[in-house]
Amino acid sequence: MEIPSFISSAAQNSPQIKTIEMHTTGEPTRIVYSGYPDITGTLLEQRAHAKAHHDHIRRALIYEPRGHREMYGAVLRPSSELVESGEAHLGVLFLTNEGYSTMCGHATLAVARLVVDQAGAGSQIFPIRRPIDFDNLGSRDEVVVSLHVPCGLVNVTVPVRRGSNDRWTTDIRRPISYRSVPSYATGIGITVPLPSSYRWPELGQRESIIVDISYGGAFYLVVSPDTLGFADTLAKPDIPGLSRATAQLKEAFNSSQHLRQSFLYHAEHSDLQFLYGTLVTDAKTGLASPGTGGAETTICFFSDAQVDRSPTGSGVQAKVALAYAKGERKLSEKWAYHSVLSNRYDGEGAFVGEAVKEVTVGSHKAVIVEVSGWARYTGASSFLIEDGDAIGEGFWFDGLGAA
């Protein structure tokens, strides 16, 4: 993974940025563990600082030629207020094609597996402040990794087993699961007006559409494909059409101060009050998983029309909370959540979501949601940014959208 010095000398002003590459049901996570600037402060201050001063690193790692417009990143942060207080093992910032997201289930599953495997191997490629406790595993052979992510604390339960060399390692025969911040629906059956500049052809004569709005560490609009004017299942989705429609819908929502102020409610941080994506959900389609009461399929468009290959952990949180608020789901009722990709694979594809506890957030009835799934390694990389390489600073090719 070391870049030979005759190559790195061409980029004297660039640190080597080292990553572990993983995927969760096909959705990549480029996990930056070394070479990121040493930023300090609370995690949300670090996020704001990264946005203001180090966005060129996000663009270089996410866009071409090192990535692509669908790449996703996670930057491991050795300190944050919850790391200092001993509540979290480490902090994580998330990178998308547009910026810095606030919750990410698929990357959470990946980072937690990496943290456990590093600790089990007695390795230290990145520091964690508190050891992983392999001495008190309990009867199910699991450890808990606590991650501080921008929306708050996420506790991840990772099944472990002894590997052939007697070291502890993630037991990939069993899913990893996490519990994140409270999730809650902020709007059910809300009308989004669509001024003529925000309409798409499949909409026909309609001038507005009805959506639900829910928070799972990030805010999502939830709609069915037929509400947007498309076929009523996602069996053969028109992905370019749905992408254009959801981009227009997002813009229409964001153009209304009334909608933003009424439905992007967060009790503590205004930094978290933005619309992250749209979950186009087909409640009729989906391979069932063992032990679940039913299944549904979603295509999630987030950030700048990025399409999640995974079933979107934060989206599962939002949808479980929405189903709970509508009285469609009870506590402890497990459901299988698919992406259009995961629906093609039996076994490791679906995320399973369930509401495990009711809590309150402001005037909202909220739930703690448990989400489970699998994450896999795909490799490791070292990147550098050669001096004077303007193209290498990052671009994306379809339509030549640039950083």
| Whether the Cβ atoms of residue 169 and residue 117 lie closer than 8 Å to each other | yes
Question: Which residue's CB is nearer to ligand HY3, number 141 or number 348?
Answer: 348
Catalytic residue status for 104: yes
Instruction: Please state, in angstroms and rounded to a whole number, the distance separating the CA atoms of residues 63 and 392.
Output: 9
Residue 308 in contact with ligand HY3, rule: CB under 6 A: yes
Stretch that binds ligand HY3, among 3-11, 263-271, 278-286, 312-320 (CB under 6 A): 312-320
Site string for ligand HY3, 2-41 (x = CB under 6 A): -------------------------x--------------
Phi first, then psi: give them for residue 391, nearest 5 degrees. -65, -40
| Contact of 283 with 296, CB cutoff 8 Å | yes
End-to-end CA distance of the chain: 27
Q: Smallest gap, in angstroms, from Cβ of residue 308 to ligand HY3?
A: 4
Beta carbon nearer to ligand HY3, 88 or 109 = 109
**Segment holding 118, helix H or strand E:** helix 105-120
Burial label for 15, CB within 10 Å (0-12, 13-18, 19+), is middle
Distance, in Å, from the CA atom of 24 to the CA atom of 124, rounded to the nearest integer, reads 23
Q: How does DSSP classify residue 212?
A: E
Distance (Å, whole) CA 220 – CA 264? 9
Residues 37-76 that bind ligand HY3 (CB under 6 A): 72
Which of 76-84, 151-159, 259-267, 311-319 is the region at the interface with ligand HY3 (rule: CB under 6 A)?
311-319
In the region spanning residues 87 to 116, those forming contacts with ligand HY3, defined by CB under 6 A, are 101, 103-106
Q: Which amino acid is at 17?
A: I
Q: Binding to ligand HY3 by residue 183, rule CB under 6 A?
A: no
The tokens for 236 are 């053969």
Binding mask 248-287 for ligand HY3 (x = CB under 6 A): ----------------------------------------
H helices within 1-42, ranges in order? 5-8
Number of residues lying near ligand HY3 (CB under 6 A): 13
In sequence order, the 6+-apart residues with CB closer than 8 A to the CB of 369 are 179, 180, 183, 216, 316, 317, 320, 321, 353, 354, 355, 356
Select which of 104, 154, 280, 325 is catalytic.
104
CB of 342 to ligand HY3, least distance (A): 12
Under the criterion CB under 6 A, does residue 215 sit at the interface with ligand HY3? no
Stretch that binds ligand HY3, among 52-60, 150-158, 280-288, 308-316 (CB under 6 A): 308-316
Among 169, 180, 278, 314, binds ligand HY3 (CB under 6 A): 314
Using an 8 Å Cβ cutoff, are 335 and 320 in contact? Answer: yes
Question: To the nearest whole angstrom, how small is the minimum distance from the Cβ of residue 109 to ligand HY3?
Answer: 8
302 binds ligand HY3 (CB under 6 A): yes
Choose which of 25, 157, 183, 310 interacts with ligand HY3 (CB under 6 A).
Answer: 310
Binder of ligand HY3 out of 237, 286, 313, 394 (CB under 6 A): 313
Are 339 and 333 a contacting pair, CB within 8 Å?
no
Are the CB atoms for 209 and 228 separated by under 8 Å?
yes
Residues involved in catalysis: 104
- Judged by the rule CB under 6 A, the positions of this chain that interact with ligand HY3 are 27, 72, 101, 103-106, 302, 308, 310, 312-314
